[in-house]
Amino acid sequence: MQHFPLIPRLKRIFSSKRIVEEVQWHKLKRKPVENELNHPADGEAWKDFDRKYGWFAEDARNIRLGLATDGFNPFGKMSSSYSMWPVFLIPYNFPPWECVEQSNFIMGLLIPGRECPRKDIDVFLEPLVEEFLELWKGVPTVDALSEKKFDLHAAVIWCIHDYPALSTLSGRVTRGYYACVHCDKNPCSKRIRNKICYIGHRRFLPRAHPWRRSKVFDGNVENREKPKKFTTDELMEQLERVKDVRPGKHPKSKKRKRGKEGPCWKQRSCLWDLPYWSSLKLRHNLDVMHIEKNICEYILGTFLGTAGKSKDGINSRLDLEDMGIRKHLHLIRDGDSYSTPHAPYTMTKTQKEHFCDFLKSVKFPDGYASNLATCVTADGCNLQGLKTHDCHILLQRIIPAAVRGIMHMDIYEALAELGNFFQQLCAKTLKLDVLERLKADIPIILCKLEKIFPPSFFDVMLHLAIHLPEEAILRGPVQYGWMYPVERRLLTLKRFVRNMARPEGSIAEAYVAAECLTICSRYFDDDVETRHNQEGRNRERVAIVRGDLSVFQHGADVLGAPSLTYLEHDYEKMVWFVLNNCPEVEPYIEYVSPSTIFIVSCNLVISPNV
């Protein structure tokens, strides 16, 4: 295993005056706005940590770290069974534009393949945990800005990983009846024909909600309370039961009896050895990136009837029969044979063609998304090779627009609300009142989906959406706890592999060299171009020139030679766009209704020279 000592690298942060200033940004320069979440420091988890450990919060130089890990295959498609696990530490003290910047990621460990470490990960984490313990006590460090010695402290505030890795790292069960890490008691899981599904989101609705008395959901009235979490004492008691479970093939581990440990925890992770770990409000983040990807794949798979991904099948129809609901979808038996009636949540061939034609025709702004037209299969009836970011765009923006007019209005409404939910949740700046509203809205959205799709559609990923607003209130904006930056970092590591026989050695050597160069480049002035001062592909934060309308100040560079084209047919659209996207026009809109604006824009067409 490759271990890259953390303490000397944290100390090195304080050898540059510029970085010392940036490290203290979260306390000295951040301007918190009431009701707004811009940085993890605005989140409830950070504030709660400050209240509990006042001495730690007092010195802005003390570093808060996020621990991120995931497995990856350095050989790409050449070998299907190789899983290498780097462990990254992400310092959160920096301002938002530097916080999840790749060059700030510190690789602490590189756990070698060929197999996924699973529960043995504790053994690998041991050297890192030792360093965390030392950092909690304090490490003497010299501050370049004040040129004085001080005791540097650091703490891990949460972990970032996908859902299977959550189980590996935390020792919490993420499969079966207790798969949801937030629902410890009476979870929403239910056994159906060939799997366990997560239905019954009416439990999250208020007691008096009319849907609780309806029988269209699962044939029953819902009187149960929403699932509960363990209290700290109960959690400690659960962990006490599994404290003897050891990693690896230990002779004692064979003797333990199943069921004695309780259903939720299979192991006590070594992270619990950290003195502050039990008092953290958010230990493990749910990864919004993978949740969005899975939900999008379920929806598309079911709509388009993709083999192996569709949630509609004979078993799902039998589930409906078992529950005694939606009789028009039950199997029609004729002697020994049977037929499946068409369900509104699947598309006919013509609908599929219309849907895929729409996806092909969508045009995006530069750098917003990849070209979705390349994902449509040759027969024009299906999609293939969707990346996680494609799913992110599809779920939030494209699917609701694409199904409108093609599918039933109920389906469109539910998907539009789901898309809107994720859109507001993934905003760069979150508002507390919006999050509270999302928290109340998501059970209704899931109930609407329960009315449309069969029970087999609802696996734990859909259920996890219900806990996302709660986590966002604790953590702050989603981009500080999702996997996108981590996955990008993994791709960089993958490119470091030169010697296929020694992938870990290649990565370690190239990583150390790249880190040295990055540190050196921080000492250059701004007139030397380094990776820290490169201008982005699209310019951001363009200062508005007085007298010009903001709608024309998009800040994008135009490529190629200019040419003037007069689009007579699109004139009406352009006027409509300018009127509806220009904040300067807003005071006038207050006096007239939106329909009047449209009429105004149409009248303008008569005299295009105006």
Which residues of this chain interact with Zn ion, rule CB under 5 A? 180, 182-183
Task: Compute the distance between CA of residue 352 and CA of residue 214 in angstroms, rounded to an integer.
Answer: 33
Least distance (Å) from Zn ion to the CB of residue 456? 18
Nearer to Zn ion, 188 or 406 (CB): 188
Task: Compute the distance between CA of residue 180 and CA of residue 183 in angstroms, rounded to an integer.
Answer: 5
Least distance (Å) from Zn ion to the CB of residue 230? 13
Least distance (Å) from Zn ion to the CB of residue 403? 27
Nearer to Zn ion, 112 or 262 (CB): 262
Nearer to Zn ion, 183 or 270 (CB): 183
Nearer to Zn ion, 203 or 448 (CB): 203
Structure tokens at 605: 């067409």
Nearer to Zn ion, 179 or 383 (CB): 179
Nearer to Zn ion, 153 or 463 (CB): 463
Structure tokens at 474: 């604790």
Phi and psi (nearest 5°) for 2?
-100, 125
Least distance (Å) from Zn ion to the CB of residue 281? 17
Least distance (Å) from Zn ion to the CB of residue 470? 10
Least distance (Å) from Zn ion to the CB of residue 460? 8
Q: Do the Cβ atoms of 316 and 455 come closer than 8 Å?
A: yes
User: DSSP state, 84?
Assistant: B
Nearer to Zn ion, 119 or 203 (CB): 203
Nearer to Zn ion, 11 or 226 (CB): 226
Taking alpha carbons only, the member of 161, 109, 141 closest to residue 23 is 141
Least distance (Å) from Zn ion to the CB of residue 311? 20
Q: Do the Cβ atoms of 445 and 414 come closer than 8 Å?
A: yes
Q: Do the Cβ atoms of 110 and 256 come closer than 8 Å?
A: no
Structure tokens at 311: 């949630």
The DSSP H or E segment spanning 154 is: strand 154-160
The 3-class SS string of 418-479 reads HHHHHHHHCCCCEEHHHHHHHHHHHHHHHHHHHHHCCHHHCCHHHHHHHHHHHHHHHHCCHH
Least distance (Å) from Zn ion to the CB of residue 182? 4
Q: Which residues contact residue 567 at a Cβ distance below 8 angstroms, ignoring those fewer than 6 apart?
A: 574
Beta bridge partners of 334: 337
How many other C-beta atoms can be found within 10 angstroms of the C-beta atom of residue 530? 16
